């Protein structure tokens, strides 16, 4: 075992790390083995999600357009560029929320609480995380252009640009991670700014995607851009940002307080668990807690009226305090238009149901709150079913509006292009109503999911360990309805059947929202 | 484990309540009646089953035997009439993360039909010492402030009975004194009080009946 210096002398970070490694080895838990185990869980989860996404993407892009209009290279290129911008925006938001420099709770309590050189302890993790982000960026950059059959040079350039942008994103978020000013209960202004930039990029990507898709649908695709030179410029600019941000972040490591590091660690733990279990509820809970702690205060405004109707007004006010949820819901409306521009018409209906359920889920925070918290329900003078129905009103309105906004994509793809497809002759209004009810049912079902139950009958170990059947069903709750409806569309079931299935699913979810 | 009956006819009737976790009997055959304006205080060491008893009484845990009646009918937790009558503070208190302290109290007052909710909210905020934190979101509250908010949620709305699980926890000394005075006033106003408690001073000040587990 490595000795640490005698009492009175502060051990250097290297000695602390060596001591910890030796202790873990003594317990049969090597640091490398532990890290590899955790990485395996995440990689398997990410691989499952990535494979599903890639498969869906390839089927979309390479589906044989029955209307005979092959996707133009420029339209595909611009859509991929928009997707890249959206990925950068999402990454910035995620990095700003996660820290990105963090420490496990045990390290915060037992190592960083001492007088040890904090910057020295955190530095290896900082560089490792930066390298990981860069590698992920390179991989995503290399994979993103694949659907457009690119040249090797373009793939390599895109990989380099992806790596540089990812490194710049990481460095910027890390530099913005400095603790709040003493005496302030509000969180870091810079972190909020980085998240704001991420949101702006997501909005810009959605808007660009819509413009490109509409131009493609109208038969006037935008001219192809100089992809290679643009990527080079982006890469050079990102390298500069990464260098400056990385230098500032490394210099500020010693000033990161334990609260900042611990909350980031909890978020990373939530992220790891969520990816490993394909379940976002833990991550969402930790992220929401952190988000509202950063916000700290709001301007109190009294409600009006009395009785149960007040709950509806309160739900609306809470939604107004989360404009990013509404923006996210609106941004997802681009998806059916993009699919209409690049894929077989039948996939537009599928995209409408799947993206619609995700969009409506953004509006179910109130429903989730009353469903998850029996203490909250007990305080209110309303029975459970009424409480859930009241909190389903906003998502229902959102579903109707969302489907109305995306219905033109269905019309554009289906008139007259649907001839010969299973959805031929289907009224867009009927399809939109079925999709709206289906999206609402999926969102309500997901929002009223009971706490995960790790008991019950298990299925054999296929890489995740022995998994309880009930747990799988719970994780899929909500998505199961959306996938069922998508399957019905692909199987050629008409909208009356889909509407009936969606209505039954919705009624069932509202009947026993927190008990089944 | 204890069997004791407060021999008073009241609106809350608990008869031979039993709860087991596997082979372990938490409590058995507990009976009590709680009339308006009286207080039953449940005491006992950690793990004696005080919180479990209160959870069974308010209907969020299912007893293995016995029954609980409210106003002559089987008590059903999700019954709006029960929710209107019982103000409950247990360890599963929930809050909306996007709403401020004052807005929580305002929402409760209005949902329960308080005639002048603005005045009621201001009064309770001052009483529980949260006037200065009225605009804060729940995530920023200390554990003591959170406990005060949950107590305020019980007092801002009409109630016929208070069910409080160790309400003195996380309160400072002046806070505990205030709580004792407030519960005595509640009794005087005709509200029944069922609470579990570790504080001898609070038991002495409030209890008409003591149920020791």
Nearest to A288 among B97, B114, B117 (CB): B97
Count of A–B CB contacts within 8 Å? Answer: 127
Nearest to B97 among A292, A302, A375 (CB): A292
Strands B12-21 and B24-34 turn out to be antiparallel
CA distance A232 to A132: 22
pLDDT in tens, A414-473: 644 444 444 555 677 788 889 999 999 999 999 988 766 655 555 555 544 555 556 666
Contacts of B118 (CB under 8 A, 6+ apart): A302, B106
Instruction: Decide if A412 contacts A474 (C-beta within 8 A).
Output: no
Tens-binned pLDDT, residue by residue, of chain B (213 aa):
333 333 433 489 999 999 999 889 999 999 999 999 999 999 999 888 999 999 999 998 999 999 999 988 999 988 999 999 999 999 888 899 999 999 999 999 999 999 999 999 999 999 999 999 999 999 999 989 999 999 999 999 999 999 999 999 989 888 999 999 999 999 999 999 999 999 999 999 999 999 988
Cβ contact B92–A185 (<8 Å): no
Our CA-based measurement puts residue B87 at a distance from the nearest CA of chain A, in whole angstroms, of 7
- Judging contacts by C-beta atoms under 8 Å, the chain B residues touching residue A378 are 58, 60, 77, 83, 88
Nearest to A259 by CA among A283, A289, A282, A280: A289
Q: What is the pLDDT of residue A441?
A: 96
User: Burial level of A457, CB count in 10 A (0-12/13-18/19+)?
Assistant: exposed
- Judging contacts by C-beta atoms under 8 Å, the chain A residues touching residue B98 are 292, 298, 318, 321-322, 365
Instruction: Decide if A388 contacts A513 (C-beta within 8 A).
Output: yes
Q: Which of B57, B77, B96 to mutate to test the interface with A (most CBs of A within 10 A)?
A: B96
Our CA-based measurement puts residue A446 at a distance from the nearest CA of chain B, in whole angstroms, of 18
Nearest to A302 among B77, B90, B106 (CB): B106
Q: What is the pLDDT of residue A417?
A: 41
Can you tell me which residue has the tokens 């939530």?
A270
Encoded tokens for A63: 């589906």
Nearest chain A residue to B121 by CA distance is A302
Cβ contact B98–A306 (<8 Å): no
- Judging contacts by C-beta atoms under 8 Å, the chain A residues touching residue B60 are 374, 378
Our CA-based measurement puts residue B79 at a distance from the nearest CA of chain A, in whole angstroms, of 6
Cis peptide before A416 (omega within 30 of 0): yes
For chain A, residues with pLDDT lower than 50 are 63-69, 185-187, 415-422, 463-464, 513-516
Q: What is the pLDDT of residue A66?
A: 44
Q: Which of A302, A320, A379 to mutate to test the interface with B (most CBs of B within 10 A)?
A: A379
ipTM of the complex: 0.86
Cβ contact B94–A311 (<8 Å): no
Cβ contact B134–A300 (<8 Å): yes
Q: What is the pLDDT of residue A117?
A: 80
Beta bridge partners of B119: none
Cβ contact A306–B108 (<8 Å): no
- Quote the pTM value: 0.79
User: Burial level of B167, CB count in 10 A (0-12/13-18/19+)?
Assistant: buried
- Judging contacts by C-beta atoms under 8 Å, the chain B residues touching residue A311 are 107, 111
Residues of B with CB under 8 A from a CB of A: 58, 60, 77-80, 83-84, 88, 90, 92-103, 106-108, 110-114, 117-118, 121, 134-140, 153, 157
Q: Which of A284, A375, A389 to mutate to test the interface with B (most CBs of B within 10 A)?
A: A375
* Strand extents, DSSP E, chain B: 12-21, 24-34, 39-43, 65-70, 73-74, 86-89, 161-165, 192-196, 209-212
Cβ contact A378–B99 (<8 Å): no
Can you tell me which residue has the tokens 């290297």?
A14
Our CA-based measurement puts residue A373 at a distance from the nearest CA of chain B, in whole angstroms, of 5
Q: What is the pLDDT of residue A466?
A: 55
Cβ contact A376–B80 (<8 Å): no
Instruction: Decide if A163 contacts A137 (C-beta within 8 A).
Output: yes
Cβ contact A297–B153 (<8 Å): no
Nearest to A292 among B80, B92, B98 (CB): B98
Nearest chain A residue to B132 by CA distance is A297
Q: How many residues does chain A have?
A: 516
Kindly compute the dihedral angle of the four CA atoms of residues B70, B72, B78, B80, in this order, to the nearest 10 degrees.
-100
């Amino acid at each position: 075992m490595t000795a640490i210096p005698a009492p009175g002398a502060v051990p250097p970070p290297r000695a602390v790390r060596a001591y910890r490694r030796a202790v873990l080895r003594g317990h049969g838990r090597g640091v490398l083995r532990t890290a590899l185990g955790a990485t395996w869980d995440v990689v398997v989860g990410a691989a499952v999600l990535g494979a599903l996404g890639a498969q869906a993407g390839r089927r979309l892009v390479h589906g044989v357009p029955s209307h005979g209009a092959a996707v133009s290279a420029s339209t595909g290129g611009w859509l991929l560029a928009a997707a890249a911008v959206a990925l950068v925006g999402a990454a910035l938001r995620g990095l700003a929320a996660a820290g990105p420099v963090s420490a496990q709770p045990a390290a915060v309590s037992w190592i960083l609480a001492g007088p040890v050189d904090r910057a020295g302890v955190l530095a290896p993790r900082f560089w490792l995380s930066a390298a990981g982000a860069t590698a992920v960026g390179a991989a995503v950059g290399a994979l993103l252009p694949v659907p457009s059959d690119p040249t090797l040079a373009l793939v390599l350039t895109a990989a380099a640009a992806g790596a540089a942008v990812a490194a710049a994103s990481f460095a910027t978020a890390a530099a913005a991670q400095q603790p709040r000013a003493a005496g302030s209960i509000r969180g870091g202004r810079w972190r909020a700014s980085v998240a704001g930039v991420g949101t702006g990029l997501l909005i810009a990507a959605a808007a660009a995607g819509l413009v490109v898709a509409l131009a493609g649908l109208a038969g006037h695709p935008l001219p192809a851009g100089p992809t290679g030179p643009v990527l080079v410029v982006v890469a050079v600019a990102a390298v500069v940002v990464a260098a400056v941000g990385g230098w500032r972040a490394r210099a500020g490591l010693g000033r990161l307080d334990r609260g900042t590091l611990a909350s980031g660690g909890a978020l990373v733990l939530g992220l790891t668990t969520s990816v490993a279990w394909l379940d976002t509820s833990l991550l969402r809970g930790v992220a929401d807690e952190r988000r509202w702690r950063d916000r700290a205060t709001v301007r109190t405004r009294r409600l009006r009226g009395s009785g149960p109707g007040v709950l509806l007004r309160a739900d609306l006010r809470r939604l107004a305090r989360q404009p990013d949820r509404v923006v996210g819901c609106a941004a997802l409306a681009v998806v059916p238009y993009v699919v209409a521009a690049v894929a077989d018409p039948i996939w537009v209906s599928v995209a409408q149901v799947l993206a619609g359920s995700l969009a409506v889920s953004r509006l179910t925070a109130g429903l989730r709150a009353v469903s998850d918290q029996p203490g909250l329900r007990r305080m209110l003078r309303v029975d459970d079913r009424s409480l859930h129905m009241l909190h389903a009103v906003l998502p229902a309105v959102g579903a109707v509006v969302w489907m109305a906004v995306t219905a033109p994509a269905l019309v554009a793809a289906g008139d007259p292009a649907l001839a010969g497809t299973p959805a031929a002759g289907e009224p867009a209004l009927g399809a939109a109503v079925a999709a709206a009810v289906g999206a609402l049912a999926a969102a309500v079902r997901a929002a009223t999911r009971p706490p995960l139950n790790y008991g019950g009958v298990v299925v054999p170990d296929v890489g995740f360990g022995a998994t309880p059947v009930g747990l799988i069903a719970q994780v899929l709750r909500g998505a199961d309805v959306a996938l069922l409806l998508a399957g019905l569309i692909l199987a050629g079931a008409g909208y009356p059947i889909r509407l009936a299935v969606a209505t039954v699913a919705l009624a069932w979810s509202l009947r026993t929202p927190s008990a089944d | 484990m204890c069997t004791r009956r407060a021999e008073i006819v009241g609106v809350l009737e608990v008869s031979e309540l039993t709860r087991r976790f596997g082979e372990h009997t938490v409590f058995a055959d507990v009976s009590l009646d709680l009339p308006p304006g009286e207080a039953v205080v449940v005491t006992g060491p950690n793990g004696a089953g005080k919180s479990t008893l209160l959870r069974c009484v308010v209907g969020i845990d299912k007893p293995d035997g016995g029954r609980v009646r409210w106003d002559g009918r089987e008590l059903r937790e999700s019954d709006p009439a029960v929710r209107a009558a019982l103000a409950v503070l247990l360890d599963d208190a929930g809050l909306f993360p996007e709403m401020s302290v004052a807005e929580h109290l305002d929402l409760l007052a209005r949902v329960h039909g308080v005639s002048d909710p603005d005045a009621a909210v201001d009064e309770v905020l001052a009483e529980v010492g949260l006037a200065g934190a009225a605009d804060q979101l729940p995530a920023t509250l200390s554990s003591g402030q959170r406990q005060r908010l949950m107590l305020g949620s019980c007092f801002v709305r009409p109630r016929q009975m208070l069910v409080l699980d160790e309400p003195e926890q996380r309160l400072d000394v002046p806070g505990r004194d205030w709580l004792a005075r407030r519960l005595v006033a509640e009794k005087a106003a005709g509200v029944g009080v069922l609470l579990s408690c570790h504080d001898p001073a609070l038991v002495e000040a409030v209890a008409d009946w003591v149920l020791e587990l």
